[in-house]
Structure 1
Amino acid sequence: MLAWKPPYLALNMYPCSRLTGLCHLRHTRSPELLRRRTLSHMLLGLETSCDDTGVALISTKDGSIVHEQVASQTRLSVMLGGVLPTVAREFHRTAIDHLTSSTLANSGVGWKDIDGIAVTVKPGMPMSLKVGVTYAKQLAELYRIPLIPIHHMEAHALTAMLTYPSLTFPYLVLLLSGGHALLALARGLEDFTLLGTALDASPGEVLDKLARRLKLSRLGDFRLNSVSGGRAVELLAAEHKATSPLFEIPLPRSQSRDCDFSFSGIQLNFERLVSKLEDELVDVDSRSHSILPVDCLATVCASLQSALTRLVCRRVQRAFEFLRSNGSADFPWPTALVVSGGVAANSVIRAGLSEVAQHFGLPLLAPPARLCTDNGVMVAWNGLLLKRANRRVTWDISSVDFEPKAPFGIDCRALVRNAEIRIEAIKINS
C-alpha cells in the first residue's frame, strides 16, 4: 500500500518478519464501517510516546473506529528488565510503517481519504517520540495532509468522551499509568486544572519494580511472563485467599492535606516487607535465586493492590471535597469521575474508585482496557475533537516537534494544599 519508506527504516534492528516474536500485535476493524467508508473521510492517529506503537483510523464524520492496531513491547521489556530507550526506538521504527500500511490496506482506503494525521508529540521518551513525529511529518509532506500535534495525557483524559458519548464537561479525571499519576478537573477540550500529581515515582514504575523484586516472571506461570508488572501483580493477587489477612502497610504522606501522590513510599515499605519475609521463609544460602512461596506472594500482591487503592481513593476523595467546598465558577462540580491509563485498568483499583464516586452521587466512567493503555485510537479521537474545533490543525510541518516534558493543564495544587481539607476516609470494601 505504501510504496515510499522513510529513510531511517534501512537502519532497523528488528525486521518486520520478527515482529510477532518480540511483541503482541492487536488489531480491530469494523466491517460495517468498511462498507460505509466511501461516505466519510478518515483521520489517522499515531502513538509512540513510550514502548507501544499505536496506529488507528477513525471516521471524521461520526468518530467511529474504522481500524486500530497496537504493537506492544511488553514481552520484550519483561525479558530486558524494563523499557530500554534505544530498543524502544528501533522497535517503533520497525513497527510504525508496517502498522500504518496494513491499517490502510485492511481498511481499504488510500492516502487521498485521509483528512489529517494526529500524532503524539508530548510528553514521553524522547527517542520514541521522535520516531512517531518524524514519520508523521514525512507522511504529511509527501501526501499533503495537515498535522495535529497531540498531548499524550490530554488524549488519555478525553478518551472517555469517545466511549461515553453522553459525557460532558466538566469531569474529574484520574490518569494512572507507567509514567504518570495525574488528578485533574477537565473543563474543556484544552482546559484542564491540575489538582494532584505524583511527587516521585509513577504507579506503573513502582508495580514493575516490585514485580521484579518478587521475581514473578520466574514463577513458571506463563501468564506472568509476557505482561506488565502491574498486570502480573493483579493476576497473582487474585489467588489470595480471602480468609488470609493482608499485610498492614502504612501509607506515605497520610497526614498531608493535598491531592499529590507518593508511590515511592509504598515501594520502600513493600521492599522492607519482602526482605523481612525472605529472612523468615527463605534459606540464606539460596536467597539470591529463591522465590517466596506462591501463597505468600499472592498475599503480598493483594496487600500491594489494597495499599495503592487506599492511597488513590483518599486523594480522589479530597479532590471531591475540595471542589464541593470551593463552589466557584473556576472549580465547577463534575458530572462524573473518569479514570484511564494502564494502571487504572486494575479491577481492584477501579472498584475502590467506583465506591468513592458513588459516595458523591457520581458515576465512574472508564474506557475499555485496550483504550486505557497507550493506543492510536485515543490520539486519533483527540485529533478529531481538535479538528472539529479548528484548533492545532497545521499545514506548517516545520512547526511541529516533540517535547519530552510538558505540563498538563493549569497547576492549582497549591490551592488544594492551602485549603487544608481534612477528610474521613471512605471505607472501601473492594
Structure 2
Amino acid sequence: MKVLGIETSCDETGIAIYDNETGLLAHKLYSQVKLHADYGGVVPELASRDHVRKIVPLVTATLAQANLSAKDIGGIAYTRGPGLIGALLVGSSMAKSLAYAWQVPALGVHHMEGHLLAPMLDEPKPPFPFLSLLVSGGHSMLVNVQGLGRYEVLGESVDDAAGEAFDKTAKLLGLDYPGGPLLAKLAEQGHTGIYKFPRPMTDKPGLNMSFSGLKTFVANTIKSEPCDMQTRANIAYAFQEAVVDTLLIKCRRALAQTGLKRIVMAGGVAANKMLRDEFAKASKTDGFEVYYPSFEYCTDNGAMIAYAGCMRLAAGESTALDSKAMPRWSLETLSAV
C-alpha cells in the first residue's frame, strides 16, 4: 500500500509517500522559519495561511518525485493532532478532500506517534519493546513502548519542554529564532566547568521533567555577569549540559523502573550532538542500546506521518471524513495494532 502523508501541525508543511513494501518513495518539506523569525516565534494565523499556500504545490511535487499519480495512492495519512488548530485544519481538510476525491481511506495520525516511530524510517529499525524519549519544542515525554499503539507515558514536562527551553534560553542570549540549533552551535565554543546549572527535578522521585526553572536560573546568571561572547558561549554550554544530563538521569531511572534495555530518541532535540554523544557513551557503560532517527526525520516531517499512517491503514484502520482535528490528544488513548 502506498500512503500519502501530510504534516501541518505547526510551522512546517511536510508531504511524503510511504510504501509498506519498498519504504519511503518521496518526501518534501517546507519550513516557515523565515516567516516567523521577525516575531521570535510561531504566529499561528500566519502559519495556517502559509500552509494553505504551500500544501497543494508540495503534494503535486511529491507525487512527481515518486513518479506516481492519484490512482497509485492507496490511502491518505494526516496529522490530526496535537498541534495548532488552524494549521491542523489545513492538513486535515486537504487529506479528507483527497481521500473523498480519490476514493481511498484517510487516517488521522497522532503527531507524537509519528515522532515516536520516525526511527523506523531508517535501518536497522529498533525492535519493540523500548523506552522512547520524545524531546521536541512542544513536548518532552518518556514512553514505555510495548508495540504499535501500546504506549504508557511514564513522565512528561510539567512546564517548558526541552526544545522550548532551548529556544527561550537562546533568546535570552541574544540569538535569533529558532534558537535551539544556534545555542548548540554557540555551546561548541564554551568551556566546561565554568558554570554549574541545576538538574531540575532529579532530586525527587518520578520521571516528570521541568525546564522552566533552569531557564530562569540562566536568566539570573546573564543579569549578574558581563556577557561578552565567551561568557555567552560558556553559559550556553552549561545550559545544554544541564538539559542533557537531566534527560540522561531520567532515562536511566526509567530503564531501571521498566527493565527495558533499549532507548529510542525522537523529536527535534534528538538532533542535538551533545545529547547523542552522551547517550552513546552511557549506552556502552550501562549496557543499553540507543537509536535515533536521521537528522531529516527529527523535526516535523511528512515521512513519519506517512509511515505511522501506513502501518495503521494496512491494519484496517481509518478515520471518518467528518472527524475533527484534535489540538489536544493523549498518546495513551491510541488503539493497539
Shorter-chain TM-score: what band?
Answer: over 0.9
Decide which of 276, 280, 287 is 1:350's aligned counterpart. Answer: 276
> SS in structure 1 opposite 2:152?
strand
Q: TM-score with structure 1 length normalisation?
A: 0.75
In structure 2, the partner of 1:328 is none
Question: Does 2:15 match 1:55?
Answer: yes
Separation in 2 of the partners of 1:149 and 1:235? 36
What's the offset of the Cα at 1:204?
1.4
Residues 112-156 of structure 1: per-residue CA shift (max 9 Å, x gap)? 000000001011111111110011111111221210110110111
- Between 161-170 and 231-240, the greater mean CA deviation after superposition: 161-170
In structure 2, the partner of 1:231 is 181
What's the offset of the Cα at 1:353?
2.1
Question: Does 2:309 match 1:383?
Answer: yes
- Between 73-82 and 268-277, the greater mean CA deviation after superposition: 73-82
Question: Does 2:248 match 1:313?
Answer: yes
What's the offset of the Cα at 1:57?
1.0
Separation in 1 of the partners of 2:18 and 2:127? 21
Matches within 5 A, 1:210-225: 210-217=169-176
Separation in 2 of the partners of 1:160 and 1:364? 11
Please tell me the residue identity of whatever aligns with 1:393: S
CA separation of 1:86/1:166 partners in 2, compared to 1, >3 Å: closer, same or farther?
A: closer
- Between 245-254 and 296-305, the greater mean CA deviation after superposition: 245-254
Separation in 1 of the partners of 2:307 and 2:165? 30
For the 8 Å contact 1:42–1:59, the answer to whether it is kept is: yes
Separation in 1 of the partners of 2:303 and 2:328? 22
Structure 2: gaps of 5 or more residues: none
What's the offset of the Cα at 1:377?
0.3
In structure 2, the partner of 1:371 is 297
What's the offset of the Cα at 1:42?
2.2
What's the offset of the Cα at 1:70?
0.6
In structure 1, the partner of 2:330 is 407
Structure 1: gaps of 5 or more residues: 1-40, 218-226, 282-291, 325-332, 411-430
For the 8 Å contact 2:119–2:125, the answer to whether it is kept is: no
For the 8 Å contact 1:117–1:136, the answer to whether it is kept is: yes
Decide which of 132, 135, 142 is 1:176's aligned counterpart. Answer: 135
Separation in 1 of the partners of 2:248 and 2:79? 29
What's the offset of the Cα at 1:241?
4.2
In structure 2, the partner of 1:126 is 85
Separation in 1 of the partners of 2:94 and 2:119? 27
Matches within 5 A, 1:190-269: 190-217=149-176, 228-241=178-191, 245-269=193-217
In structure 1, the partner of 2:50 is 91
For the 8 Å contact 1:184–1:195, the answer to whether it is kept is: yes
Please tell me the residue identity of whatever aligns with 1:397: L
Please tell me the residue identity of whatever aligns with 1:408: L
What's the offset of the Cα at 1:60?
3.3
For the 8 Å contact 2:191–2:237, the answer to whether it is kept is: no
Question: Does 2:228 match 1:293?
Answer: yes
Separation in 1 of the partners of 2:39 and 2:185? 21
> SS in structure 1 opposite 2:206?
coil
CA separation of 1:52/1:166 partners in 2, compared to 1, >3 Å: closer, same or farther?
A: closer
What's the offset of the Cα at 1:211?
1.2
Residues 224-261 of structure 1: per-residue CA shift (max 9 Å, x gap)? xxx6211000111112245xx33111222232111110
What's the offset of the Cα at 1:365?
0.4
Separation in 2 of the partners of 1:319 and 1:254? 12
In structure 2, the partner of 1:397 is 321
- Between 134-143 and 374-383, the greater mean CA deviation after superposition: 134-143
In structure 2, the partner of 1:43 is 3
Task: Point out which structure has higher relative CO (alpha carbons under 8 A, 6+ apart).
Answer: 2
For the 8 Å contact 1:317–1:356, the answer to whether it is kept is: no
Residues 380-427 of structure 1: per-residue CA shift (max 9 Å, x gap)? 01111112322x224x412x32100011227xxxxxxxxxxxxxxxxx
What's the offset of the Cα at 1:358?
3.0
In our comparison, the structure showing a higher alpha carbon Rg is 1
Decide which of 286, 290, 306 is 1:360's aligned counterpart. Answer: 286
Separation in 2 of the partners of 1:360 and 1:401? 44
Residues 149-170 of structure 1: per-residue CA shift (max 9 Å, x gap)? 1011011111222213442110
For the 8 Å contact 1:56–1:68, the answer to whether it is kept is: yes
Separation in 1 of the partners of 2:35 and 2:162? 20
> SS in structure 2 opposite 1:216?
coil
Please tell me the residue identity of whatever aligns with 1:51: D
Root-mean-square deviation (Å) = 1.7
> SS in structure 1 opposite 2:328?
coil
In structure 1, the partner of 2:223 is 275
Q: TM-score with structure 2 length normalisation?
A: 0.95
